[in-house]
Amino acid sequence: MASRSLASRIAGTLASEQQAAAAAAGASSSGTGAGGAAKEAIPKSLAGAVDVEGEISIERVRVDGLVLSKIIKHGRDAKSTASNISGILLGIDLQGTLEVSNSFPLPSTTGGPKGGGDDDDAKASHARYQAGMLRQLSFVSGDTTVVGSYHIVSMGQVYKQTILDALVGQIEKVRHGGIAIVHDLSQAARGNASFKAFRLSPGYLAAHKSGRFHAQSLAQNSLKFSELFVELPLQVRTSPLASAFLKTVLSPAASPSSAPAPTFSNLALPAPSMHTRALDLLLDTLDQSKSEENNVAYQSRQIARERAKADSYLAKKKDENAQRIAQGLTPFAEPREEEVRALFKVPLEPSRLDSIMLMGQVDAVAKEVELLQSVEIVKMYAARAGSANA
């Protein structure tokens, strides 16, 4: 018998799978009546081709210019006492590029004690508000696909628990895990529109999957504060009409005869409150890092004490079994590790995630202080040189 061609074999495979899927669909819809239409199941051979974009990792982020304008306005209008200024990003991912086409802000929360019922109430309020906004956008045929969130920070504090919690919450809900766009208000105050896009690193995802962030897990995954997030290239997309308008507005008027007026605004020194606020933030972050280090050290000492008691108990049991064997008696069953842990209440090794997050905050604030002070020191020396020559 002549061998069947490749096309005929593929056609036979698809036909058999479609027949099996139709039979399964008919069996599942038997209770819906003769008038109920059964949904056609997708053949297994075509299941991988349904979501092609799901297999392509995100390599870059392209944001609409209107979205960035909304984020800047949200940060400018937010209260200074708000501790969590964030919003939702909407869009779609195409061929490795995440297209962010719309956004809306979430209600800001004021600073307060960490944990407790207030955090749960805020999360529930954000969830209800987000569901309502998505419902309203669907009524006007707007984008309703959540692709991430944006966060507004100050002094380069990217390594905040709120940003990490938002990304962790998007691991299962958003395809590709979602992204976070961070806008720095301190940079915007100096005339720099600072926007950065981040996603969770593979090392963090591996540690999160294991559910443990102790020292051994961090060492195995090579996880430190600079490896928590992966920064993605961020591009800004504007419409041709908006680009032409901005070019018209920003282009200087033609006046070749008159020389530009001198400006000395670049030599102006900022208010002392800015330096004081930056140093206060750095000292507060250092205090939090030291306090977390003391907590981890206390828990480590407690673990060592309880483990020493458990080791002494196991050694005593081994000696008793050795004596019984020497006397010709049946030895006792060796206690299991779970029984020993429950008997002596040996706690688990403390998580080091908060420690590395605080270290990242200290590093970010220190770099901002260094950048701020270096520019101002140059201005002060220039002012001193100018007054000396006057």
CA Rg, the chain, in Å?
31
Name the residue with tokens 């209600």: 107
pLDDT digits (tens, 9 = 90+) for 143-160: 888 999 999 988 888 888
The string of DSSP codes covering 210-256 is: HT--SHHHHHHTT--GGGSEEEE-EEEE--HHHHHHHHHHHSPP--S
How far is the C-alpha of 98 from the C-alpha of 170, rounded, in Å? 15
Per-residue confidence (pLDDT) for residue 255, from 0 to 100: 54
Contact (Cβ atoms closer than 8 angstroms) between residue 106 and residue 129: yes
Per-residue confidence (pLDDT) for residue 269, from 0 to 100: 65
Evaluate if residue 135 carries a pLDDT over 80: yes
Write the burial class of residue 26 (CB in 10 Å: 0-12 exposed, 13-18 middle, 19+ buried).
exposed
Write down the H helix ranges in the chain: 6-28, 44-47, 65-77, 117-139, 161-169, 185-189, 202-210, 215-220, 240-250, 272-326, 337-344, 353-389
Per-residue confidence (pLDDT) for residue 222, from 0 to 100: 77
Provide mean pLDDT across the span 326-337.
79
Provide mean pLDDT across the span 200-217.
82
How far is the C-alpha of 172 from the C-alpha of 96, rounded, in Å? 19
Higher pLDDT, 127 or 53: 127
Three-state SS for 64? Answer: strand
Provide mean pLDDT across the span 197-204.
88
Contact (Cβ atoms closer than 8 angstroms) between residue 109 and residue 85: no
Three-state SS for 87? Answer: strand
Q: In whole numbers, what is the pLDDT of the chain averaged over residues?
A: 76
Q: Which of 235-244, 267-276, 288-297, 368-377 has the highest mean pLDDT?
A: 288-297
State the distance between the two ends of the chain, measured CA to CA, in whole angstroms: 106
Q: Which of 29-43, 111-125, 165-179, 247-261 has the highest mean pLDDT?
A: 165-179
Which residue type, as a one-letter code, is found at position 169?
G
pLDDT digits (tens, 9 = 90+) for 283-304: 888 898 888 888 888 888 888 8
Q: Which tokens hold the place of 178?
A: 């979602």
Per-residue confidence (pLDDT) for residue 36, from 0 to 100: 41
Which residues, in sequence order, are bridge partners of residue 60?
Answer: 97
Higher pLDDT, 80 or 371: 371
Evaluate if residue 11 carries a pLDDT over 80: no
Q: How confident is the model at residue 89 (pLDDT cuts 50, 70, 90)?
A: very high
Per-residue confidence (pLDDT) for residue 90, from 0 to 100: 92
Evaluate if residue 229 carries a pLDDT over 50: yes
Per-residue confidence (pLDDT) for residue 273, from 0 to 100: 66
Contact (Cβ atoms closer than 8 angstroms) between residue 146 and residue 173: yes
pLDDT digits (tens, 9 = 90+) for 112-124: 444 445 667 777 8
Which residues, in sequence order, are bridge partners of residue 260?
Answer: none
Percentage of the chain beyond pLDDT 90 is: 5
List Cβ neighbours of 57 (8 Å cut-off, separation of 6 or more). 96, 176
The string of DSSP codes covering 128-157 is: HHHHHHHHHHHHTT----EEEEEEEESTT-
Provide mean pLDDT across the span 225-229.
84
Write down the H helix ranges in 42-145: 44-47, 65-77, 117-139
Per-residue confidence (pLDDT) for residue 112, from 0 to 100: 47
List Cβ neighbours of 307 (8 Å cut-off, separation of 6 or more). 346
How far is the C-alpha of 182 from the C-alpha of 190, rounded, in Å? 17
Evaluate if residue 12 carries a pLDDT over 60: no
Evaluate if residue 166 carries a pLDDT over 50: yes
List Cβ neighbours of 206 (8 Å cut-off, separation of 6 or more). 221
pLDDT digits (tens, 9 = 90+) for 52-70: 556 677 888 999 888 998 9
